[in-house]
């Protein structure tokens, strides 16, 4: 009997959380309400007491941070080309121009050595991304921002529970945006959170979250800014409340599985030359385990490797194609060759399954199949 299909990722949601969702549904209050406030309070505690507001995605959080920072038409925002396209789409959404900076070949995060050369009089902010949960150097990042008087919107969608030199991501810095999409380390099904600097910013975030509305008394209503419909439901918040207490355990399990991947890959001669992530077992939450295929030594493209892995009952993913080569961004003037490191990594990067319910046997199965496929298709 063949082994069951191993997906790229799968959330772990316990029975207590499922029962809690049923209670919310029975309560009659299923949109934003007491569970949203409770989740915000617990996330604030996780972030050292900073104000936190939750939203229906980890995309609108970045857009709202840009709006609070006053970023708009005529401005530029520096970011990485190796991320989910939402990271740069929000810059376009507020009318600004994304300026991509190539990545560091080791960390695959934005190369901070290249950031200052990209700053112009129009630059207003930097959006770094913690790819796969590996934190960008927060000390250098914020030193650059302070020197040039720039705002920072940390795209920490993938790094909840990670830390920089012992400081939990979200406890320091400027704006910090988290995602609770089902593929993240904890989920609210769909959702996100924004860590802010003070209560004034938090109030403005609440306005942007729900059509710009400010209510007073029983019947007072005013609209001061143009907001959207970005509120999180109590149903989703209840899922998050059930997930958050397991964050440390989930991340510890991910770390164990990442160690198992390294051990298996190191022991497989067929995989020597495979590009591996940094072996960071103290700061990253191991949101993903990504390898870079030796594309120039393979007789088949990455898609064929993924197809063969799928045929073996194993899901894989691509995180991410370089953003600047999408048509929307080519129309802004970006072209192949502009960011060679991101382009090379983006062409050959492959995400392997990693989620808490996996076992070491699952890791062994992934590595054995990948090794066999690469060995079978190496260039002579």
Q: List active site positions.
A: 184
β-bridge pairing 163-164 and 192-195: unpaired
Name every residue whose Cβ is closer than 8 Å to that of residue 275 and which is 6 or more positions away in sequence: 291, 292, 293, 294, 345, 348, 349
86 dihedral zone (left: phi>0; alpha: psi -120 to 50; beta): alpha
Hey, is 347 helix, strand or coil?
Answer: helix
Asked if residue 106 has a cis previous peptide bond (ω within 30° of 0), the answer is no
Hey, is 113 helix, strand or coil?
Answer: helix
Alpha helices in the chain, H assignment, sequence order: 15-27, 34-46, 60-68, 86-93, 112-118, 138-148, 199-209, 234-243, 247-266, 302-311, 327-330, 340-348, 360-376
Answer for the pair 125, 150: CB distance below 8 angstroms, yes or no: yes
């Amino acid at each position: 009997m063949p082994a069951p299909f191993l997906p790229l990722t799968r959330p772990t949601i316990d029975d207590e959380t499922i029962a809690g969702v049923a209670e919310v549904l029975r309560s009659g209050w299923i949109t934003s309400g007491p569970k949203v406030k409770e989740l915000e309070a617990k996330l604030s505690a996780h972030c050292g007491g900073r104000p936190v507001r939750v939203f229906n995605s980890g995309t609108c959080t970045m857009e709202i941070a840009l709006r609070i920072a006053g970023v708009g038409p005529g401005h530029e925002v520096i970011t990485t080309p190796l991320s989910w396209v939402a990271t740069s789409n929000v810059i376009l959404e507020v009318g600004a121009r994304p300026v991509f900076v190539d990545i560091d070949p080791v960390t695959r995060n934005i190369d901070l050595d290249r950031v200052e050369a990209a700053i112009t009089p129009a630059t207003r902010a930097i959006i770094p991304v913690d790819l796969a949960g590996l934190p960008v150097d927060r000390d250098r990042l914020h030193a650059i921002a302070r020197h040039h008087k720039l705002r920072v919107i940390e795209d920490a969608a993938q790094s909840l529970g990670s830390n920089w030199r012992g400081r939990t991501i979200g406890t320091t810095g400027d704006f910090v945006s988290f995602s609770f999409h089902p593929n993240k380390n904890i989920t609210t099904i769909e959702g996100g959170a924004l860590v802010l600097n003070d209560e004034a910013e938090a109030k403005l975030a609440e306005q942007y979250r729900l059509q710009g509305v400010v209510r007073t008394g029983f019947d007072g209503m005013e609209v001061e800014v143009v907001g959207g419909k970005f509120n999180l439901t109590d149903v989703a918040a209840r899922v998050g409340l059930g997930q958050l207490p397991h964050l440390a355990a989930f991340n510890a399990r991910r770390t164990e599985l990442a160690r198992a991947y390294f051990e298996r890959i190191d022991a497989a001669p067929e995989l020597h030359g495979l590009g591996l992530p940094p072996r960071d077992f103290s700061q990253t939450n191991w949101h993903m385990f990504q390898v870079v295929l030796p594309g120039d030594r393979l007789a088949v493209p990455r898609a064929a490797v993924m197809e063969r892995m799928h045929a073996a009952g194993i899901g894989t993913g691509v995180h991410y194609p370089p953003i600047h080569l999408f048509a929307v961004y080519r129309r802004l003037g970006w072209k192949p060759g502009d960011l060679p490191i991101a382009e090379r990594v983006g062409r050959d990067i492959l995400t392997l399954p990693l989620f808490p319910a996996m076992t070491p046997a699952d890791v062994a199965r992934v590595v054995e199949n990948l090794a066999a496929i690469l060995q079978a298709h190496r260039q002579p």
